[in-house]
Amino acid sequence: MRKLLLGVVMIAMCWFAAYAAHAAELQPPAHAVAGAGFDIKTSGSGSDTLILIGPASALKREVALGEPVSIAGDEARAAGRYLAILSSGGDSTSKEFFVSSGQASDLVFLARPSRVATAQKGAISGVAFVFDEYKNLVLAPTPVKFALSVEGHAPVLRTVTAREGVAWTHMDSTSNQGAAQFVASLPQGGSDASIRRVVQQVAAEACNLRMKAQPQGNAILVETEPIKDCSGNPVPDGTIVTFTETDASGISTVDARIKKDVARAELPASHSATINVASGVVLGNEIHWGGGQ
Amino acid sequence: MRRLQLLLAVAVFMSATHWMTLRARANDAAGVKVEMSTEQAQPREVEDSTQKAIVRDYTAAWKAMEAALASNQDAGLAAQFSGNALQLLQDRVQQQKKSGLRTRFVDHGHKLSAIFYSPEGSAMELHDTAQLEIETLDGSKVHHSQPVTLHYVALMTTAEDRWKVRLLQGVPNF
């Protein structure tokens, strides 16, 4: 009886040893990079079916156990979670692993606004998303250079390190009007990724708004000095300037547009009046007509 | 002998019930639950209406993705995904179809955290911690089934009348 039991145990051990020798195991790569390709090592003997599920892939192929399975770069361009399954008959074994994004080589750049007044604090925002060549978000810290410049003037530069694939900055609009070039680029890694946006900088509100008045026939002719913003940029033609005359008979208001840097209007004649000038929220000088200025 | 038969019957009944529950939940598109926090969002604060819209559209995106990968039909993806995320999912569906594979999800919910909201309000980056059971099927045979906690970095941008997922990238951790 003992011999019989021993025989059975021996047979069971041999069977288990044979099973273990045949049992398939997977060893995915420890560090895989999108688009670079990698090997999945297998152990055991015979053949099995390998299934590889990734963000953009679902491969199924027969593989020889004990030999590495090569996955080409084109088959794993997407960064993310991959699942390798070895399946034979009713048994299967699986391993998950992650493919990381490659080197930063591309940017998506959002710049706002497209039109802004000069010399405004933090008025321009730039957001850059950093991608590798296969459009995977690069999550490793990556420096991004932002440059804002108007022709003929030195650019304003700022380097921001992208975290979680995104870098952003707020920049002041410069004091010069014109089409500002807002550029985001990758200063490291030999990439020539550079995205350009145009932000039109226009003169801000009028500054030191002043006018003079003189009689003209039966009217009073009012005319401003050349209207400029606080940085010296001429306020654009077409901007509305409001002249207001207040006298005993009431209030007269004339809206005039700036033409060739100045605005002018005719107000009703009066023996004694107060005349004001304003443009937007900016109030100019006041003239007392008839009673001496 | 009777006890053995009774035990077997109970075991078979429980297995069948569990299997049917899994199937029913996998097919139940309304099963995706998304909770969202906005405390970490920078540099702009997330408005209440935007938060609701993100939850609504991210939920819809997962429903569409789970349905597409379970059925190998990608028609519903374009309404919720755009850019590279859409392209990758369409590629995955095509490859699954070609290989005779399908992926079935039981979605136990997502914890979404906004980490970036662009100053002009047109793009948002989010971290998603998803509790899922994922089955890989070859024809009708389940090759692999596993409950998992997965981490995703998602990028959503404004589209016509909704937010669309532009990037959904799995990461080992945050």
Q: What is the pLDDT of residue A291?
A: 66
Which comes out higher in pLDDT, residue A271 or B155?
A: B155
Architecture of domain A2-100: Sandwich (2.60)
Q: What is the pLDDT of residue A5?
A: 67
Contact indicator for B104, B134 with CB cutoff of 8 Å: yes
Nearest-angstrom CA–CA distance, B98 and B113 = 36
Hey, what are B54's tokens? 């993100």
Q: Which DSSP letter does residue B119 get?
A: T
Rounded to an integer, what is the distance from CA B105 to the centroid of its chain? 7
Q: Does B121 touch chain A (CB under 8 A)?
A: no
Nearest CB among A59, A79, A85 relative to B95 is that of A59
Residues in chain B within 8 Å Cβ distance of A110: 118, 120, 122-123
DSSP assignment of chain A: -HHHHHHHHHHHHHHHHHHHHH--EEE--SSEETTS-EEEEEESSSEEEEEEE-SS-EEEEEEETTSPEEE-GGGG-S-EEEEEEEEETTEEEEEEEEEE-----EEEEEEE-SEEETT-TT-EEEEEEEE-TTS-B--S-EEEEEEEE-TTSPPEEEEEEEBTTEEEEEEPPPSS-EEEEEEEE--STT---EEEEEEEEE--SEES--EEEEEETTEEEEEEPPPEETTSPBPPTT-EEEEEEEETTEEEEEEEE-BTTB-EEEEE--SSEEEEEEETTEEEEEEEESS--
Hey, what are B48's tokens? 């209440």
Q: For chain B, what's the residue count? A: 174
- 3-state SS assignment for residue B165: strand
Nearest-angstrom CA–CA distance, B91 and A76 = 12
Nearest to B80 by CA among B54, B52, B119: B54
- 3-state SS assignment for residue B129: strand
ipTM of the complex: 0.83
> What pairs with residue A201 in β-bridges?
A116, A178
Hey, what are A259's tokens? 């033409």
For domain A206-289, give the CATH superfamily. Purple acid phosphatase-like, N-terminal (2.60.40.380)
Owner of token pair 């639950």: B33
- Kindly report the pTM of this predicted structure: 0.80
Per-residue pLDDT of chain B (174 residues; tens, 9 = 90+): 666 676 666 655 555 545 544 444 444 445 789 999 999 999 999 999 999 999 999 999 999 999 999 999 999 999 999 999 999 999 999 999 999 999 999 999 999 999 999 999 999 999 999 999 999 999 888 888 889 999 999 999 999 899 999 999 999 999
Rounded to a whole number of angstroms, the distance from the CA of B162 to the nearest CA of chain A is 19
Q: Using the predicted structure, report yes or no on whether residue A286 has a pLDDT greater than 50.
A: yes
- 3-state SS assignment for residue B31: helix
Assigned fold of A106-202: Immunoglobulin-like (2.60.40)
Q: What is the pLDDT of residue B28?
A: 47
Domain ranges of chain A: 2-100, 106-202, 206-289
Sign of the CA dihedral B109, B114, B117, B121? positive
Contact indicator for B113, B36 with CB cutoff of 8 Å: yes
Residues in chain A within 8 Å Cβ distance of B155: 129, 137, 165
Q: Do A137 and B153 touch (CB under 8 A)?
A: yes
Residue-wise pLDDT for A21-78, tens only, equals 445 788 999 999 999 999 999 988 888 899 999 999 999 999 999 999 999 999 999 9
For a pLDDT cut of 70, what percent of chain A falls above it?
89
> What pairs with residue A109 in β-bridges?
A128
Q: What is the pLDDT of residue A192?
A: 75
Q: Do A164 and B95 touch (CB under 8 A)?
A: no
CATH of the domain spanning B32-171, picked from 3.20.20.80, 3.10.450.240, 3.30.1330.40, 3.40.50.620: 3.10.450.240
Rounded to a whole number of angstroms, the distance from the CA of B5 to the nearest CA of chain A is 26
Hey, what are B67's tokens? 């349905």
Please tell me if the domain spanning A2-100 has the same topology as the one spanning A206-289: yes
Backbone phi, psi, residue A185, to 5°: -150, 165
Q: What is the pLDDT of residue A91?
A: 77
Query: Number of C-alpha atoms within 13 angstroms, CB side, residue A157?
Result: 9
Hey, what are A200's tokens? 């039109």
Contact indicator for A99, A31 with CB cutoff of 8 Å: no
Q: What is the pLDDT of residue A25?
A: 85
Provide mean pLDDT across the span A128-149: 96
| Segment 52-81 of chain B within 8 Å of chain A by CB | none
Query: Which of A62, A101, A129 should be substituted to probe chain B, the one whose Cβ sees the most B Cβ atoms within 10 Å?
Result: A129
Tell me the angle at which helices B48-71 and B83-99 cross, rounded to the nearest 10 degrees.
20
Q: Do B92 and A55 touch (CB under 8 A)?
A: yes
Q: What is the pLDDT of residue B1?
A: 60
Domain ranges of chain B: 32-171
Q: Do B170 and A80 touch (CB under 8 A)?
A: yes
Residue-wise pLDDT for A86-114, tens only, equals 987 667 899 999 999 999 999 999 999 99
Rounded to a whole number of angstroms, the distance from the CA of B27 to the nearest CA of chain A is 21
Residue-wise pLDDT for A186-241, tens only, equals 987 667 789 999 999 999 999 999 999 999 988 999 999 999 999 899 999 999 99
